[in-house]
Amino acid sequence: MDPPDQNGRTTGFQAPPTEDPAVTSSYAFTYLEAVGHVVIAWIWLEQFLVSTSVES
């Protein structure tokens, strides 16, 4: 991970270069797994908001 800039924010992440496809795909797997968790959390949030806004 890059060091923080003067505002304390990181500027991004770049995986180390590699020729091994297994290592490259392991980085992709980790990223996709994290994105999948965010998507599921978003769906649960939408369901919660709908369930608490039922009109009588």
DSSP string, 27-40: HHHHHHHHHHHHHH
How high does pLDDT run on average in the chain?
79
What per-residue confidence (pLDDT) applies to 27?
A: 79
Q: Is-contact 13 1, C-beta < 8 A?
A: yes
The stretch 12-26 carries a mean pLDDT of 74
> If pLDDT is split at 50, 70 and 90, which confidence band does 31 have?
confident
pTM for this one? 0.56
The domain spans of the chain are 19-49
What per-residue confidence (pLDDT) applies to 21?
A: 79
What per-residue confidence (pLDDT) applies to 25?
A: 80
